Amino acid sequence: MASIKSNLPRRRYDAVIVGAGGSGMRCSLQLAEAGLNVAVLSKVFPTRSHTVAAQGGIGASLGNMSEDNWYWHMFDTVKGSDYLGDQDAIEFMCRQAPHVVYELEHFGMPFDRNSDGTIYQRPFGGHTANFGEKPVQRACAAADRTGHALLHTLYQRNVRARTQFFVEWMALDLVRDQAGDVVGVVALEMETGEVMILEAKATIFATGGAGRIWAASTNAFINTGDGMGMAARAGIPLEDMEFWQFHPTGVAGAGVLITEGVRGEGGILLNDKGERFMERYAPTLKDLAPRDFVSRSMDQEIKEGRGCGPNKDHVLLKLDHLGADTILKRLPSIREIALKFANVDPIKEPIPVVPTIHYQMGGIPTNYYGQVVVPKNGNHAEVVNGLYAIGECACVSVHGANRLGTNSLLDLVVFGRASGDFIVKQNLKDKAHKDLPADAADLPLSRLARIDGSSSGERVQDVANQIRKDMQAHCGVFRKQELLEEGVKKILELDKRRMHVHVKDKSKVFNTARVEALELDNLIETAKATIISAEARQESRGAHARDDYPERDDANWIKHSLFYSEGNRLDYKPVNMKPLTVETFQPKKRTF
């Protein structure tokens, strides 16, 4: 195809960050403060990124309210990951945690306070003292609006540092040159429909998760997996995509999240007999066991007929015993959500809840500097020059097969900052931009041409909704071979169907139908990666629970999955079991 790059407007930056959530804005702050020329693209106004919805807290072993240290935090994270997390990256994160939280405090983040002025910390699932002995208070919180406080603090600091925001700009595809180096992105200005090439010496993906490949999700509508889609189309594999976290407490029927902080403050789960069933499944941590464990226990109760309501399809989250004062002070938004979405006042009645898709543990493979790494010539971690990924779209991997609550906000800030520091050290100012390849914009322009040229076909939302339905039905809390195989077939069928969608509205100005059609290409890449990796992994580990393979199989499966879109093929790479300075935590049976 003839080169079309020269027709497009181009702009040059030292660094282009795609995504203005917690990870993107923590990275951009580091770069802008070091004097680099940084552009941050976002589909929505920065403070509307999904990070704003985070409720419960950010984990750090400050030890303000009960004795704590980073080593216990590391143990909990490795065990929580069901031994699939890379222990070097986990040590790095847990050691950095107190430092990055104090830094946020000094940026002005409005944490809740104890009477002695220190940061308030609440217990959270899977976080323990002394290697699992009892729950510890590690979640630093700003009421139940921690993400809101974090994101606004970071946005304001970025405005001060003169970060340049491209608001309502959608990145479409990466630009990779002949050598495989990343030299920028092609993006669409949603207001005008114009396409531009943004050249960069460092391109950083901070595009968040893809929770919208599921029908019932706690995620924002913009979480369509664009980073994963762009990476997959550029030949980069996606790591551990079979591991998706079901949050135990989504409002039944609505999907809106009720933070684990409710249980951290003392809330408990009940079945239809009024029984606190978690005592049976996790005698030590009870309702504060990790999320994979609690979600499966809830599902088991429902399956065995002890669910609540006319359809016996949910359980109850009781918190009235905490008293109106605690609820109004520590959990004000939860009360509002319960009133609006479940029509109950939690000061008086329990909230109906059900496990709901919440978080992807997998993503674009990186090291703990945020550099994207891929297998090449026998090396399983060859750096892709010029490309970085941070936040939920990245797989470092600190969460392995199951993430502990509060460890995501932590991951955003730790790796947002670490990648920023690493990029600053590359002295980008002294380096020239690499030349754009002749076919720089061919892929995104051909995608747009397909959409703009359509004259008949299916509606985008019909295909997108079918993806969500099929993923939900074939790849849920409990999985099994036949169901997964059927699901893979259906998703591959949808992969063909999405090539023939029809968008009626051909206008350019703020055409959201066009944007949704572009997002569909990303939904399908993420869905394929998820269900194909899940079908292949014949064991149960963390959030990936197989009815037909109920045990964890350490002999065969302590390895990361890698999904390649081209040929829909899988590969694997070893887990890094070696921490930076301490001894390996050897796999053990997980009990709580």
Ligand X SMILES: Cc1cc2nc3c(=O)[nH]c(=O)nc-3n(C[C@H](O)[C@H](O)[C@H](O)COP(=O)(O)OP(=O)(O)OC[C@H]3O[C@@H](n4cnc5c(N)ncnc54)[C@H](O)[C@@H]3O)c2cc1C
Catalogue the active-site residues: 291
Question: Does 443 participate in binding ligand X (rule CB under 6 A)?
Answer: no
Question: Does 418 participate in binding ligand X (rule CB under 6 A)?
Answer: no
What is the per-residue DSSP string for 219-283? Answer: S-TT-S-HHHHHHHHTT--EESTT-EEEEEEEETTT--B--THHHHTT-EEE-TT---THHHH-T
| Residue among 70, 359, 415, 563 that touches ligand X (CB under 6 A) | 359
Stretch that binds ligand X, among 48-56, 173-181, 314-322, 442-450 (CB under 6 A): 48-56
Q: How many residues form the binding site for ligand X (CB under 6 A)?
A: 46
Q: How far is the CB of 357 from ligand X (least distance, A)?
A: 10
Question: Does 392 participate in binding ligand X (rule CB under 6 A)?
Answer: yes
Three-state SS for 42-75 is: ECCCHHHCHHHHCCCCEECCCCCCCCCCHHHHHH
Question: Does 23 participate in binding ligand X (rule CB under 6 A)?
Answer: yes
| Residue among 147, 264, 386, 444 that touches ligand X (CB under 6 A) | 147
CB nearer to ligand X: pick between 428 and 518: 518
11 among annotated binding-site residues: no
Q: How far is the CB of 584 from ligand X (least distance, A)?
A: 25
Q: How far apart are the first and last CA of the chain?
A: 59
23 among annotated binding-site residues: yes
Distance of CA 114 to the CA centre of its chain: 30
Question: Does 307 participate in binding ligand X (rule CB under 6 A)?
Answer: no
Stretch that binds ligand X, among 45-53, 75-83, 175-183, 308-316 (CB under 6 A): 45-53
Q: How far apart are CA 508 and CA 124, in angstroms?
A: 47
Helix (H, G, I), strand (E, B) or coil at 135: strand
Instruction: From 27, 23, 21, select the one nearest 42 (Cα to Cα).
Output: 21
Q: How far is the CB of 81 from ligand X (least distance, A)?
A: 15
Q: How far is the CB of 304 from ligand X (least distance, A)?
A: 29
Residue 187 bridge partners (DSSP): 171, 196
CB nearer to ligand X: pick between 352 and 487: 352
148 among annotated binding-site residues: no
CB nearer to ligand X: pick between 210 and 558: 210
Q: How far apart are CA 208 and CA 390, in angstroms?
A: 8
- Determine which helix (DSSP H) or strand (DSSP E) holds 422, and give its type and residue range: helix 407-424
- Determine which helix (DSSP H) or strand (DSSP E) holds 434, and give its type and residue range: none
Helix (H, G, I), strand (E, B) or coil at 28: helix
| Residue among 15, 16, 17, 24 that touches ligand X (CB under 6 A) | 24
Assigned token pair, 520: 């569909």
Question: Does 397 participate in binding ligand X (rule CB under 6 A)?
Answer: no
| Residue among 257, 373, 396, 524 that touches ligand X (CB under 6 A) | 257
50 among annotated binding-site residues: yes
CB-hemisphere CA count at 13 Å for 30? 24
Question: Does 206 participate in binding ligand X (rule CB under 6 A)?
Answer: yes
Distance of CA 72 to the CA centre of its chain: 24
Q: Which residue is nearest to ligand X (CB)?
A: 21
Q: How far is the CB of 274 from ligand X (least distance, A)?
A: 28
Q: How far apart are CA 128 and CA 465, in angstroms?
A: 40
- Determine which helix (DSSP H) or strand (DSSP E) holds 491, and give its type and residue range: helix 481-497
Q: How far is the CB of 258 from ligand X (least distance, A)?
A: 9
| Residue among 15, 54, 100, 361 that touches ligand X (CB under 6 A) | 54
Question: Does 41 participate in binding ligand X (rule CB under 6 A)?
Answer: yes
CB nearer to ligand X: pick between 277 and 359: 359
392 among annotated binding-site residues: yes
Q: How far apart are CA 306 and CA 299, in angstroms?
A: 10
| Crossing angle for the helix pair 512-536 and 460-474, to the nearest 10 degrees | 20
Q: Which residues contact 505 (CB under 8 A, 6 or more apart)?
A: 511, 513, 514
Find out whether 541 and 587 touch, Cβ atoms under 8 Å: no
Task: Determine phi and psi for 261, rounding to 5 degrees.
Answer: -55, -25
Distances (CA, A) of 44 to 39, 163, 258: 15, 16, 24
Q: Which residues contact 536 (CB under 8 A, 6 or more apart)?
A: 242, 561, 570
Helix (H, G, I), strand (E, B) or coil at 379: strand
Q: How far is the CB of 44 from ligand X (least distance, A)?
A: 5
Q: How far is the CB of 292 from ligand X (least distance, A)?
A: 15
| Residue among 222, 252, 334, 531 that touches ligand X (CB under 6 A) | 222
Question: Does 28 participate in binding ligand X (rule CB under 6 A)?
Answer: no
| Residue among 44, 254, 322, 570 that touches ligand X (CB under 6 A) | 44
Q: How far is the CB of 563 from ligand X (least distance, A)?
A: 19
Question: Does 55 participate in binding ligand X (rule CB under 6 A)?
Answer: yes
| Residue among 61, 64, 356, 408 that touches ligand X (CB under 6 A) | 408
Question: Does 420 participate in binding ligand X (rule CB under 6 A)?
Answer: no
Question: Does 171 participate in binding ligand X (rule CB under 6 A)?
Answer: yes
239 among annotated binding-site residues: no
Known binding-site residues for substrate equal 247, 259, 358, 403
Given the rule CB under 6 A, which residues bind ligand X? 18-24, 41-44, 49-51, 53-58, 146-147, 169-171, 206-209, 218-219, 222-223, 226, 257, 259, 359, 391-393, 405-409, 412
Known binding-site residues equal 19-24, 42-57, 226, 247, 259, 358, 392, 403, 408-409
Known binding-site residues for FAD equal 19-24, 42-57, 226, 392, 408-409
